[in-house]
């Protein structure tokens, strides 16, 4: 789960969106991601793991991405957070959407600096309008453009995934969609 204090997932998103996500409770973080058009879903429907290392995962069952894609009609791309998630990219690639591998935000990925991870995440999220150019002027809410845009995205994603959109796990794929 991205609750580990050294996991940089929420910090990176907060930096990209100019929002202090780390001070917000978990449900508010999920709501912010959805409002910005970012849905997060576990690669695994179930698995067993002792501790927090991905290498400890066993008896894993991959989620049904085809069923999710049918419900997410505005899905534009999938980005895998790290190598364990990426191991299953053939399942997400079968959907016919662009699939990206992002560097893991896990503290186990110490070979990548925060700045390097932030740059990689910014590059992909910008392609889909989910992050701003670092030089873009933001309004008082930390967002650009139509203020209702993010709310419409969140509503659509919530409808499409039937309440599973904020089930965050340490092995996650990030779903990028627009109206």
State the maximum Cα–Cα separation within the chain, in Å, rounded to a whole number.
47
Q: Smallest Cα–Cα separation from 173: which of 72, 106, 93, 81?
A: 81
Pairwise CA distance, residues 144 & 128, whole Å: 14
Structure confidence at residue 58 (pLDDT): 66
Q: Which two tokens stand for residue 69?
A: 């894609």
Which residue did the predictor score with more confidence, 24 or 177?
24
Pairwise CA distance, residues 160 & 175, whole Å: 12
pLDDT, mean of residues 21-32 = 91
Mean pLDDT, rounded, of the chain: 75
Best-predicted range by mean pLDDT among 14-23, 136-145, 155-164?
Answer: 14-23
Share of the chain above pLDDT 70, in %: 66
Q: Which of 7, 63, 81, 132 is catalytic?
A: 7
Pairwise CA distance, residues 105 & 28, whole Å: 20
Active site residue 7: yes
Pairwise CA distance, residues 33 & 13, whole Å: 8
């Amino acid at each position: 789960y991205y609750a580990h204090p050294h996991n940089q997932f929420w910090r990176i998103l907060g930096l990209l969106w100019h929002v202090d996500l780390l001070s917000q409770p978990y449900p508010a973080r999920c709501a912010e991601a959805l409002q910005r058009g970012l849905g997060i879903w576990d690669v695994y429907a179930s698995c067993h793991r002792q501790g927090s290392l991905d290498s400890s995962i066993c008896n894993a069952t991959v989620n049904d991405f085809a069923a999710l894609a049918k419900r997410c009609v505005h899905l534009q791309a999938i980005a895998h957070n790290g190598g364990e998630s990426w191991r299953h990219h053939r399942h997400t690639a079968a959907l016919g959407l662009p699939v990206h591998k992002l560097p893991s935000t896990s503290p186990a990925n110490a070979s990548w600096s925060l700045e390097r991870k932030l740059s990689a995440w910014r590059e992909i999220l910008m392609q889909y309008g989910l992050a701003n150019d670092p030089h873009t002027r933001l309004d008082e809410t930390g967002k650009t453009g139509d203020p209702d845009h993010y709310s419409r995205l969140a509503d659509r994603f919530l409808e499409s995934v039937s309440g599973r959109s904020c089930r965050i796990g340490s092995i996650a794929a990030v779903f990028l969609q627009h109206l």
